[in-house]
Amino acid sequence: MNFDLGNLATSVGIGGGLGFLVGYAVKKIFKIILVLAGLSIATLSYLQFQGIVAVNWDKLDSAARGTLTGFNATSQFPAVAPALGEQILTAMSNSGIPLTGGLAAGFAFGFSRG
């Protein structure tokens, strides 16, 4: 049986490192988006309370729900580069379990630390 521990460690290490970076960045971006959304809603509420603007909250709610529904219905990969998504999936599946497992573990760790 030919078992190369160096290649296995390299796959797990690279996958884990990249996964950590992606997980960390995703959580930070989510935090920024949530803070901006909260500040926007707080600003609208304050301006309505002061009588500066009149906000139709029902219309705002339906617009937000429509945006989120449209976001969920979009494809996983943009139509601009459909071949790129296929290449990424092919590379991930051809790399094997160590890279993918390291990537998943790194993502979870990075997301928890972000």
Please check whether residue 82 lies inside any domain of the structure: yes
Residue with tokens 């979009």: 74
Sign of the four-CA dihedral 59, 28, 25, 110: negative
Please check whether residue 3 lies inside any domain of the structure: no
Given a contact cutoff of 8 angstroms between Cβ atoms, the answer to whether 16 and 106 are in contact is yes
What's the number of domains the chain is made of?
1
Would the pTM count as exceeding 0.85?
A: no
Please check whether residue 67 lies inside any domain of the structure: yes
Please check whether residue 5 lies inside any domain of the structure: no
Q: 111: closest CA among 37, 28, 13, 36?
A: 28
Please check whether residue 60 lies inside any domain of the structure: yes
pLDDT, one tens digit for every residue, the chain (114 residues): 455 667 767 777 888 889 899 999 999 999 999 999 999 999 999 999 999 999 888 888 888 887 777 655 555 545 555 565 566 656 555 556 677 788 888 888 888 887
Can you give the pLDDT at residue 83? 62
For residue 72, what are the domain limits? 11-113
